[in-house]
C-alpha cells in the first residue's frame, strides 16, 4: 500500500504541469507520500525508497521528452537515449528521496506534528536541485500555479520557492488531518484553508489594481518566430533563405510600429561577427528603419593557444543588441548552459553516449548578467533554459533592468510538453519581478506577459509569426526582487536545524 501511495504522489506531481496536467493536482500531490512515510514502523531506508519512487515517476512524467530529443538530434540509439534519460531522472529522484527520508526521521522523533515542517523540507530539496552540481530546477512545484493568477501573485513576495512551500503546505495539512485523530487536525486544516483564501483574495485585489500597467515608459516591441525546423537550421543551402525570412518578418514588425525587435536564440545561420554579408544585412535593416534589434547568434572568441600549432577558440551562445545606427551596443553571453544540449557533464563517465558528446557543441558559459541599453532604458535577456533560474532574473532587475526578454529555440522538443513547460516557467518571472516579459522562440511559444503574469499574446507551435505589443519600462521593485529566495534559504536552515535536533532522539 505504501508503494502505491508513493507512486500516486509521483503521478500527481507529474500531472500538475502542462501539457497534460492541471494545477489543482499540485495541492494534494505530496499528501499520499507523506501518509506513507509517516508510519513510525518504517526505517529511514524504506522512506528513502518511497521518496525515490515518487521522484522517478515525477521526473519521468515531466521529462519524458528527453528520449526523443536525444534520438532525433543527438544521434543516439533509443536504448542508449533511454538509459541516458534514466540516469538523469534517477539523479533528480534523489531529492524527493532525501525529502522522504528527512520527513520520516522528523516524524519518528517529534511525532506527526513534524509533518507540518514538510513544506520547508520540500523547498530545501528544490534548493538542492537548483544549486548542487550544475543544477536543474525544471518544474519546481511552485511553477504549477503560474496560470492560477490570484494565487500566483504571491510569487511577487516569496518567489517560486515560496510558492512551492505554500502549495505543499496543503498536502502537509491533508496528510496530518488524515493521520491525526485529535482536534488539532481541524485547527490545522482551518488555518491552512484561511491562508489559501487570504492569498487568493489578496491576489485578486492585486490583479484588479494593476497599477504597473499604467506606470513607466511605453515601448512597442515585436517578437519574430521564424519557425526554422532543426534539420534545416544548419543546412548551408538554407542560409540565405533563413536570413531573408527574418529580414522580411522584421520589416513586417517595423510596419506595425515596432521599435525593438527580438529574434530567437541562434537565429543567424552562422556566427554574427563572422558572417559579414548577412551581418551587414542586419545592420542595414537597423539603420534604415532606426530600430533596435536583439538577435541570437553564436560568438566565437579566439584564445591565445598554449601550442601555437593548435589555434584555440571559445564558443558562446550569445545575444547581440544592434543599435539603430547598426552598431553593436552589447553582447550578452549565456551563463547557464543546457546539460546534454550545450555541454555534456561527466564526459568520461558517460562514455557510452559518445555520439551525443560529438553532436553537442562545447559552449563556454558567460559570467556577467549584462544589461542591454534600449531607447534610453535598461533591458535584459535570458537565453533559453536559463530563464528558469529565478536568481539570474533577479540579478538583472537588481542591476537596473526595466524590461525582461528571453530568446529560445525549442524546436528540439517537437510538440511535447517541454515547450509548454518552458513558457510556463518563463511567465512566472514576470510576477516575481514586476516586469513585462517578451519572449521570442524559433518554433514557439513566443509572446508577451504583463507584470502580473497575464498572457497578452502568444503564438502556436510550429508556425511563422510576427507579434507586436505595447509594453512598459518599469522601475518599481517587488518584495521578491528585494529579498530574493529568502524562503528557500530559510527552508534550508530550518531543515538543517530540525535534523540536528533529532540527533540521539529518534524513537
List, for residues 404-440, the tens digit of each pLDDT value.
Answer: 999 999 998 999 999 999 999 999 999 999 999 999 9
280 in active site: no
- Judge whether 91 and 85 are in contact, CB under 8 Å: no
pLDDT of residue 71: 82
- Judge whether 142 and 76 are in contact, CB under 8 Å: no
What is the end-to-end Cα distance of the chain in Å, rounded?
A: 23
Residue 19 neighbours by CB under 8 Å, 6+ apart:
417, 420, 421
Q: Please give the helix or strand (H or E) that residue 457 lies within, else none.
A: strand 455-458
For residue 410, CA distances in Å to 148, 239, 319, 406, 440 come to 24, 19, 16, 12, 10
The ranges assigned to domains in the chain are 2-210+485-501, 216-334+362-475
Q: Please give the helix or strand (H or E) that residue 438 lies within, else none.
A: strand 437-441
Q: What residues of the chain score a pLDDT lower than 50?
A: none
- Helix, strand or coil, per DSSP, at residue 68: helix
Distance CA 408, CA 441 (A): 5
Residue 456 neighbours by CB under 8 Å, 6+ apart:
447, 448, 449, 450, 469
Active-site residue among 265, 342, 386, 433? 265
Lookup: cell for 77? 540509439
19 in active site: no
Active-site residue among 384, 386, 432, 469? 384
pLDDT of residue 165: 98
Active-site residue among 334, 386, 402, 432? 334
Q: Please give the helix or strand (H or E) that residue 222 lies within, else none.
A: strand 217-225
Lookup: cell for 196? 489559501
**Residue 398 burial class via C-beta count within 10 angstroms: exposed 0-12, middle 13-18, buried 19 and up:** middle
- Helix, strand or coil, per DSSP, at residue 93: helix
φ, ψ at 338 (rounded to 5°): -85, 120
288 in active site: no
Distance CA 143, CA 332 (A): 26
Q: Please give the helix or strand (H or E) that residue 471 lies within, else none.
A: strand 465-473
Report the CATH number of the 216-334+362-475 domain.
Answer: 3.60.110.10
Query: How many residues does the structure list for the chain?
Result: 507
pLDDT of residue 68: 87
Distance CA 123, CA 163 (A): 9
- Judge whether 18 and 48 are in contact, CB under 8 Å: no
Amino acid at each position: 500500500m505504501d508503494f502505491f501511495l508513493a507512486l500516486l504522489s509521483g503521478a500527481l506531481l507529474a500531472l500538475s504541469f502542462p501539457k497534460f496536467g492541471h494545477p489543482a493536482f499540485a495541492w494534494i500531490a505530496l499528501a499520499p507520500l507523506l501518509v506513507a512515510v509517516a508510519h513510525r514502523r518504517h526505517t529511514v531506508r524504506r522512506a528513502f525508497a518511497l521518496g525515490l519512487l515518487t521522484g522517478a515517476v515525477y521526473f519521468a512524467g515531466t521529462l519524458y521528452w528527453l528520449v526523443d530529443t536525444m534520438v532525433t538530434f543527438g544521434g543516439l540509439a533509443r536504448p542508449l537515449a533511454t538509459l541516458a534519460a534514466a540516469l538523469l531522472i534517477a539523479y533528480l529522484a534523489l531529492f524527493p528521496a532525501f525529502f522522504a527520508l528527512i520527513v520520516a526521521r522528523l516524524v519518528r522523533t517529534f511525532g506527526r506534528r513534524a509533518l507540518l515542517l514538510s513544506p520547508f523540507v520540500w523547498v530545501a530539496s528544490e534548493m538542492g536541485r537548483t544549486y548542487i552540481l550544475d543544477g536543474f530546477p525544471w518544474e519546481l512545484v511552485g511553477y504549477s500555479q503560474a496560470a492560477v493568477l490570484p494565487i500566483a501573485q504571491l510569487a511577487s513576495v516569496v518567489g517560486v520557492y515560496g510558492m512551492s512551500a505554500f502549495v505543499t503546505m496543503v498536502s502537509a495539512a491533508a496528510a496530518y488531518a488524515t493521520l491525526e485523530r485529535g482536534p488539532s487536525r481541524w485547527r490545522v486544516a482551518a488555518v491552512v484553508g484561511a491562508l489559501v483564501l487570504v492569498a487568493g483574495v489578496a491576489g485578486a485585489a492585486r490583479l484588479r489594481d494593476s497599477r504597473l500597467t499604467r506606470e513607466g515608459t511605453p515601448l512597442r516591441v515585436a517578437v519574430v518566430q521564424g519557425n526554422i525546423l532543426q534539420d534545416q537550421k544548419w543546412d548551408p543551402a538554407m542560409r540565405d533563405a533563413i536570413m531573408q525570412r527574418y529580414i522580411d518578418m522584421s520589416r513586417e514588425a517595423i510596419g506595425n510600429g515596432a521599435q525593438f525587435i527580438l529574434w530567437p536564440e541562434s537565429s543567424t545561420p552562422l556566427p554574427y561577427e563572422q558572417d559579414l554579408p548577412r551581418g551587414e544585412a542586419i545592420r542595414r535593416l537597423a539603420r534604415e528603419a532606426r530600430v533596435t534589434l536583439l538577435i541570437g547568434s553564436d560568438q566565437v572568441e579566439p584564445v591565445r593557444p598554449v601550442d601555437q600549432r593548435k589555434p584555440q577558440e571559445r564558443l558562446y551562445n550569445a545575444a547581440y543588441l544592434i543599435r539603430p545606427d547598426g552598431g553593436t551596443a552589447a553582447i550578452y553571453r549565456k551563463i547557464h548552459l543546457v546539460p546534454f544540449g550545450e555541454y555534456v557533464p561527466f564526459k568520461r563517465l558517460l562514455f557510452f553516449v559518445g555520439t551525443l558528446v560529438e553532436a553537442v557543441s562545447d559552449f563556454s558559459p558567460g559570467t556577467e548578467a549584462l544589461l542591454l541599453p534600449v531607447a534610453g532604458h535598461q533591458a535584459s535577456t535570458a537565453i533559453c533554459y536559463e530563464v528558469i533560474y529565478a536568481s539570474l532574473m533577479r540579478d538583472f532587475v537588481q542591476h537596473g533592468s526595466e524590461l525582461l526578454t528571453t530568446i529560445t529555440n525549442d524546436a528540439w522538443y517537437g510538440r511535447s510538453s517541454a515547450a509548454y513547460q518552458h513558457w510556463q516557467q518563463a511567465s512566472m518571472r514576470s510576477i516575481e519581478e514586476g516586469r513585462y516579459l517578451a519572449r521570442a522562440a524559433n518554433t514557439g511559444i513566443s509572446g508577451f506577459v504583463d507584470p502580473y503574469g497575464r498572457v497578452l499574446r502568444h503564438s502556436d507551435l510550429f508556425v511563422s509569426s510576427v507579434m507586436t505589443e505595447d509594453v512598459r519600462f518599469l522601475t518599481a521593485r517587488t518584495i521578491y526582487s528585494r529579498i530574493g529566495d529568502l524562503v528557500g534559504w530559510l527552508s534550508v536552515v530550518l531543515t538543517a536545524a530540525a535534523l540536528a535536533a533529532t540527533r540521539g532522539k529518534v524513537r
